[in-house]
A and B are shown apart, each in its own frame.
Chain A
Amino acid sequence: MLVFDVVVIGAGGAGMMAALKAGEGNDLKVAVLSKVLPTRSATGCAQGGMNAALGNRDRSDSTEQHFKDTVKGSAFLADQDAVNFFVSEMPDLMKELDYMGVPFDRDENGNIAQRPFGGASKPRACYSADKIGHVVLHALYEQCLKNDVNFLNEWQMISMVVEDGKFHGLVALDIKSGEIHPINCKSVVIATGGFGRVYYSRTTNPTGSTGDGTAIAFDAGIPIKDPEFIQFHPTGLAHTGILLSEACRGDGGYLLNNKGERFMKKYDPDKMELSTRDVVARSIEQEIKDGFGFGEGMSSHVLMDVRHLGKDHIMSRLPGARETALIFEGIDIITDPVPIRPACHYSMGGIHVTDYKTCATTMDGVHAAGESCSVSVHGANRLGANSVSEVVFFGKYAGVGARDTAMRRTLGNNELIQKETKKWEAEFKRLREKKDGINMFEIRDRMGATMWNNLGIYRNGEDMEAALIEIDQLLEAYKDAFVGDSAKEYNKAFINYLEIGNSLKLAKAISIGAIERKESRGSHSRADYQKRNDQEFLKHTLIYKNGEDYKLDYCPVVVTTYQPE
C-alpha cells in the first residue's frame, strides 16, 4: 500500500504551492495526485493579473484598501479576518514568487508591473502580458521539479476513507494502468479547483473542472460553504463559452441586441458597457429573456461590436481577442460583430475551511485550498485578479498546515482503506461490464441546461425548485448511467462517469443553497427577493451530505473593521 505523510490532490496553483511548502526543509513523504499533467491545470487559464498591494504602480495603495475592496466586492459575505490575513501577507508572497522565477512584466523602476482591474480602488493587479496564470503555474511546476516533488500524474482520487468522522486515507485510480490504489496518509490537501462544468456547455472552465475534490469531501461529511455563489463572466463566446477578453469592453466595444441597440443604456446609462461584470451579465440575460436576443434556447446570444475601433486598434490592442473570435466563432471582429453570452466562470463556494491560517476543515487531517474550497475571502462575489493571488496564498498555508498536521497525526487504519479500495475495484469492474443504461452525456447535458436556465444569472424560487426536482431525477438516472468502455487501462469514459456524478452532487448543493437564500447578494440575484438582507442573511450557507440526505445550515460571517454598508 502507498503510504505518505501528506497527499495533495490537484496540481494547480494551490496544489503545487501546498506540495512545495509541505515538503520544505523536512523529511516528510509528500505526494501530489493530479488527474491531468500539472501544467494542464485550470490555474493556467487566468489572464488579467494577481492582486497584491505592492504600491509599485501607485504608492498610495495599501493593504487596507485591498482589504476594503475585497470585502466590498464580496457583498460583505467574506470573512474579514481571513481577508486581512490574505491581503497583509500577499505582498511578501509576490517577492517569493519573483524569487521563484515567475516572469512578471516590469515597470520603469524594474519592479513588478501592476494594472488597474475591476473593483479595485488602486491599480494592484500584477501581470505578465495577459498570461498571469500560465506563468505562475509553470514557475510552480519548475520549482516542484527542482525539489523533486513526487507527482502521481493522471491519477484520479475516487474516495476519502472516513469512519465515524475520522479521516483514514484515500482511494485513487491510476488512470494509465486502471489499477485502483489504497493510499494511507496522515493529512491531505484538497486543491482540485472549481466546478464550472456543472453548467456544462456555458462555462469558461476547462473540461475537467468538475469539482471532484469538493464532491468527495462532501461525500465524506465535510460541508460545502456558499455553493450558490457562482460568478458569471459577461463575455463568453456564444457557441463555446470560451472567454472573450474583457479588454473588448474596456476599449469601448458595444453590446448590441437584435434591434441593433446598445441595450446597456436601459440598465446602466452612466457606465454603459463598462458597468461591473455582474450588472453586464444580468443585462445580457434580461435582453435575451425579453426577446431582444438572437437565436434560441442554449444558442441565444447578443453581439459584441468593436468594428468602430478600427483595424489598427484591433490588430495592436486586441489581437488575442481577434484570434479567439476567428478560431472559435469563425468571425473576424474587424469586419463583423461576434456572438457572446455570459458563461459560468468561477465558483466562490466550496469546501468549508474552518481555520484560515492552516486551511483546516471540519475533519481533522483534511485541509483544502484554492477554488475547490471557500475560506471565505471572496464571499458572494470575487474581484477580478484576486483568484491567482488567493490560490497560491492559501495553497502555501494549507501546505504548512498539512505538514504540521502530519507531524501530529498518525496513519489511518489499513484495513478500512483496503475495504474501500475493494469496493471501488468491484464498482469499476461492474461499470466496465455493464452493457447498457442511460447515456451519461445526456445526463450531463440536461444538468448543464437546467443549471443554466434555472440557477443562472437570474434566479427565482419557482425555477430553482423545478431545478432541484430535475437534479434529483438526474441523480436517480445516474444510478443506471452507462459508461460504455470496457477497457481497464486509460478508461476516460469511467473518469467522465465519476465527474458527472460529482457534478450532480454539487448541482444539488448549489440548488439548495440558492433556494434557501431568500435575498439577492453579489452574484446571487433573485427576481423574487431583489434586495440584500443583512438582517437575515449575513451568514454563510453550509450544506451537509449524509448518504442521499442533504442538510442545510448556516454559520456566521466574521466582521471586524468594515461594517456592511
Chain B
Amino acid sequence: MKTIFVSIKRFDGTNEWYQDYEVPYEKGKTIVWLLTKIREEQDVTLNFTVSCLHAICGACGVKINGSSYLTCSTTLDEVLETFKTDKLTFEPMANFKVIRDLVVEFDPKFERMKEVSPWLKPASHGSVETGFKQSETEFEKISSSSNCILCGLCTSECEQLAKNDGRYLDPFIFNKAYRFAADSRDADSTERIVASLEGELWKCVHCMKCTSVCPKEIDIAENIAFLRSGYNLK
C-alpha cells in the first residue's frame, strides 16, 4: 500500500465540510504521526489536540471510520487492518460539542461531573495530620477506576448518550462516582448515588461500548452495575 487517503471532518465555528488529504504510507507509525504530518506539511489550519503522546493525559480522542480511538497510541497499521481499507475518515468524538475540526468541548462535562461530588469526602478515621490507613485490598478496589484519564472515548461510544435528551451523565462520570463510593477513606456515598440516580443511572443500556473502548481497560459498565447494586460500596 502506497498512499493513505484521509478525509477529515472540518468545522470553523460556522461551516462543516469534509476535507481530503493524501499521505504516503510509512511503517511503524501512529495516527498522531499521520495527523501531524498533514498539519505541518499540508494544512496548518487543521486542529486536533494532543499532549503527552503516550496515553496518560487523555487529550487525543477522535473517531476514525466511526470508531473512537486515542490518536497517540493507535498505530496506523492497526486501523488499516481493522477496516481493511486505505481510506481513513476522521471525525471529532461523538456526544461532545465541537469547538473546531477535531477539537471538542470538555468543560461542560466537567461541570456536570461535579454533580456526583468527584472528590474524596474524608471519613472520620483520617485527618490532615495523619492521612489514612488503607489496606492493600481496599486499594485494589479503587485502583482500576482511578486510572481514568478523562479521555472521553467512553462518552464518544455511549449508546445512551447518543439517544438521550441531555440528562444522562457520561460513563466517565459514573466511573468517578463509583471510584469514590468504593474508597474506604470516603465518608458517605449517599449523595453520590442519589446524584447518579438523578443522572439517569438506570438508563445505561449495558451495551458494553464504554468498557470495550476504554484505553485504561476500566470496566466502566461493571462499575455502573456496582453503583446500581451497591456492591463494594458503603
Contacts and interface: CB of A to CB of B under 8 A. Distances in A.
Interface of B is mostly: loop
B118 interface: yes
A94 interface: yes
B24 interface: no
A243 to B, nearest CB: 7
Interface of B: 12-13, 27-28, 30, 40, 44-45, 47, 49-54, 56-59, 73-75, 77, 99-100, 103, 106-107, 110, 113-114, 117-120, 122, 126-136, 138-139, 142-143, 146-150, 180, 183, 185-186
Given A95-B129, A95-B130, A98-B132, A142 B119 contact: yes
Which size class do A's interface residues fall under? 35 or more
A492 interface: yes
A486 B44 CA distance: 10
A40 B127 CA distance: 29
A40 B51 contact: yes
B133 A111 contact: yes
A324 interface: yes
A327 B73 contact: yes
A142 to B, nearest CB: 4
Contacts of B30: 327-328
Contact of A110 (B54, B59, B135, B149): B135
A106 B135 contact: yes
B142 A45 contact: no
A516 interface: no
Given A111-B133, A176-B99, 16 more contacts: A36-B51, A40-B59, A94-B131, A98-B126, A98-B131, A99-B132, A101-B183, A103-B146, A142-B120, A145-B113, A207-B51, A327-B75, A329-B28, A330-B27, A490-B47, A493-B45
Interface stretch (A127-135, A420-428, A467-475): A127-135
23 contacts: A37-B107, A42-B51, A45-B56, A95-B131, A99-B132, A100-B119, A101-B122, A101-B180, A103-B142, A103-B183, A105-B139, A106-B139, A128-B143, A151-B107, A206-B51, A240-B53, A242-B53, A243-B54, A327-B74, A329-B28, A485-B45, A486-B45, A490-B100
Contacts of A128: 143, 146
B47 A112 contact: no
B53 A207 contact: yes
Contact of A108 (B113, B136, B142): B136
Interface string A304-334: 0000000000000000000010011110000
A129 B28 contact: no
A113 to B, nearest CB: 8
Contacts of A286: none
Contacts of B28: 239, 329-330
Interface of A: 36-37, 39-42, 44-45, 92, 94-101, 103-112, 128-129, 131, 133-135, 138-139, 142-143, 145-146, 151, 153, 176, 206-208, 239-240, 242-243, 324, 327-330, 441, 483-487, 489-490, 492-493
B139 A99 contact: no
Contacts of B136: 105-108
Contacts of A441: 40
Nearest to A331: B28
A480 B24 CA distance: 30
Given A39-B57, A206-B53, A239-B28, A129 B183 contact: no
A129 B45 CA distance: 39
A490 B75 contact: no
Given A145-B118, A206-B57, A242-B54, A487 B12 contact: yes
Contacts of B149: 39, 44, 134
Contacts of A240: 53
Contacts of A99: 120, 122, 126-128, 131-132
A242 B30 CA distance: 13
B5 to A, nearest CB: 22
Contact of A101 (B51, B119, B129, B130): B119
Contacts of B150: 37, 39, 138
Nearest to A496: B44
Nearest to A109: B133
Contact of A145 (B54, B75, B110): B110
Contacts of A95: 127-131
A131 B118 CA distance: 19
